[in-house]
Amino acid sequence: MKILYVCHRFPFPPKRGGKIRPFNMIRHLTASGHQVTVCSLARSAAEAEEGEGIAPHVVAKAIGLVSEPLQWARMIVRLPVPTPSSMGYFYSADLARQVRHLLATQSWDLIFVHCSSVAQYVEHVTDVPKILDFGDMDSQKWLEYAQRKPFPLSLGYWYEGQKMLAAEKRLARRFDLCTATTRAEWQTLDGYGTGATTDWFPNGVDAQFFSPADAPYDADTISFIGRMDYYPNQECMSRFCAQTWPLLKARRPALKLLIVGADPTPEMRDLGKLPGVTVTGSVPDVRPFIRGSALMVAPLAIARGTQNKILEAMAMGVPVVTSTIAAGGVDAIAGEDLLVADTPQETADAILCIISDPAERQRLADTGRARMLSHHSWAGSMKRLDAIITRCVARTAKQQSQFA
């Protein structure tokens, strides 16, 4: 099949969540014999140049080069109107022109869109089967932000959430099939009652790249991995350091916390002033930090979809202590494959249980990696994707033949 693939972040190199899922889809589709043309945005000439590395996995690419100031301006213009500001941020007149040209000059067997914010480029198309992979339901993320931000910011996030919710429902009706990343996100999507055909397929993890290390770990080191310019990660670490870290230090004074992630804000860097806390900023490879830790913490209060950081740590045989909401995006069993805790005391107890008991740590390391191999392999996920594509194309062909 000839597939036009549209995504919100150029999917190479696959170093962050918004790029990992689309890259693995594109790589799989090409390996399966399909001809894939990818259309996406780049926020700098350097990002566009980096994206050249996707060449072995596509027959062609279209890149809309945008600048952050202009994209923020597009967002601001949409604040008072029904169109979500997020869609303004991911709009490029140049990319829209290139997509129109591709649609007008070539025939396509399937249009696949990853992320609702770029569905705007092809939502009008009616003569080609279309799949919209929402991934996460963004409206619910904005609405969660609204509950945690001070007024009047909370009102702005609530309004954006409501606008995005209306857009998600509208878009679901305009695509032949819609998907999500987790069963929980799929249930949210299906609960909209749009009448759209829906399904889900999980994120995978490269268990060969994210593999256990032979070197010993430090029983007095725990880690958190994630971009530190991302609000859910910021909120998580601010709360953890204020509420849980003192409990841990009181019972294990030598304990150290590594906060590893790109672009920490000044507020996040200030956490590094706390006893035992190090904020690394961007690092070339997160694996040594995770592998050298007794465990990874991910006590997120705001978590949509799958937390790739959890998959990667478990694949490396590093136990994870996480929250109920974050664990909901991982196909794993609480208490068997990872530990789940929600209050500061519960979180501290779970952490201390692992670092003070090497046998328990080893048990979680073994069961966690085994679960990733059995339930979060890209091969298994892509098998589900293949079935979804086949169902969509066959269903659309049947509908078109009925009206022929």
Identify the three-state secondary structure at position 166: helix
CATH number at residue 144: 3.40.50.2000
Residue 7 lies in a domain: yes
In whole angstroms, give the CA distance from residue 252 to residue 144: 34
Asked whether 300 and 236 are in contact (CB, 8 A), the reply is yes
213 CB-near residues (< 8 Å, 6+ apart): 287, 288, 291, 292, 316
Do 342 and 196 fall within a single domain? Answer: no
Using an 8 Å Cβ cutoff, are 297 and 240 in contact? yes
279 vs 262: CA distance, rounded Å: 10
Co-location of 96 and 117 in the same domain: yes
Per-residue confidence (pLDDT) for residue 73, from 0 to 100 = 87
Q: Are residues 198 and 294 in the same domain?
A: no
Locus of tokens 């693995």 = 24
| Domain containing residue 83 | 2-204+378-402
Please tell me the number of Cα atoms within 13 Å of 303 on its side-chain side: 23
In a domain, 31, yes or no: yes
Per-residue model confidence (pLDDT) at position 294: 98
Residue 232 and residue 130 in one domain: no
The three-state secondary structure class of 306 is coil
337 Cβ contact partners less than 8 Å away, ≥ 6 residues apart: 314, 364, 367, 368, 370, 371
Give domain status of residue 213, yes or no.
Answer: no
157 and 12 both lie in a single domain: yes
Q: Does the residue 212 lie in any domain?
A: no
Q: Is 360 domain-assigned?
A: yes
Distance between CA 117 and CA 40 in Å, rounded? 11
Tokens of 322: 């996480």
Query: 294 and 270 share a domain?
Result: yes
Verify that 102 and 119 share a domain, yes or no: yes
350 and 384 inside one domain: no
Q: For the chain, 404 residues long, give each residue's pLDDT as a single digit of tens.
A: 999 999 999 999 998 778 999 999 999 999 999 999 999 999 899 999 999 999 999 999 999 999 888 888 888 888 888 889 989 999 999 999 999 999 999 999 999 999 999 999 999 999 999 999 999 899 999 898 898 888 888 999 899 999 999 999 999 999 999 999 999 899 999 999 999 999 999 999 999 999 998 889 999 999 999 999 999 999 999 999 999 999 999 999 999 999 999 999 999 999 999 999 999 999 999 999 999 999 999 999 998 878 889 999 999 999 999 999 999 889 999 999 999 999 999 999 999 999 999 999 999 999 999 999 999 999 999 999 999 999 999 987 777 666 55
How many independent structural domains does the chain possess?
A: 2
Distance CA 149, CA 158 (A): 10
If asked whether residues 113 and 37 sit together in one domain, one would say yes
Do both 38 and 165 map to the same domain?
yes
Is the Cβ–Cβ distance between 307 and 300 less than 8 Å? yes
pLDDT of residue 58: 97
* Contact predicate 180/189, CB 8 Å: yes
User: Is 211 inside any structural domain?
Assistant: no
Residue 273 within a domain: yes
Which residues is 257 bridged to in the sheet?
222, 277
pLDDT reported for residue 68: 84
For the question of whether the overall pTM of this predicted structure is more than 0.75, the answer is yes
Same domain, 194 and 281: no
Domain match, 170 and 22 both: yes
210 occurs within a structural domain = no
pLDDT of residue 101: 98
